[in-house]
Amino acid sequence: MDVEDLESAIDSAKSNEVSEKSVPVSQDTEVGFHRGALRTLMAERNELVKMLRNIEAIAEAHIKRLKELGENS
């Protein structure tokens, strides 16, 4: 992960704000936001891994049955 790209994206988003009444975000708030985002992404990744395992198991069952039926391709 390129931290510099993340920092430039954050800076770019801050500079592109439309509202002139923007409230500065404290460092603690920003840290909390990023930690929360990472927790969410980790949970999503874990669910994706579960899904891939299920797909693999189902595919293997089909392959096994095809072999039982004499299909070699």
Range of the domain at 56: 27-73
Is residue 20 a part of any domain in this protein?
no
The confidence score (pLDDT) of residue 16 equals 63
Which sign, positive or negative, has the C-alpha torsion 54, 55, 60, 66? positive
The confidence score (pLDDT) of residue 6 equals 79
Is residue 39 a part of any domain in this protein?
yes
Is residue 12 a part of any domain in this protein?
no
Is residue 62 a part of any domain in this protein?
yes
- Tell me the whole-structure pTM to 2 decimals: 0.57
What is the per-residue pLDDT across 42-70, written as a single tens digit (0 to 9) for each? 999 999 999 999 999 999 999 999 999 99
What is the per-residue pLDDT across 1-48, written as a single tens digit (0 to 9) for each? 566 787 787 777 776 655 556 789 999 999 999 999 999 999 999 999
- Number of structural domains (the chain) is 1
Is residue 52 a part of any domain in this protein?
yes
Burial of 4 (0-12, 13-18, 19+ CB in 10 A): exposed
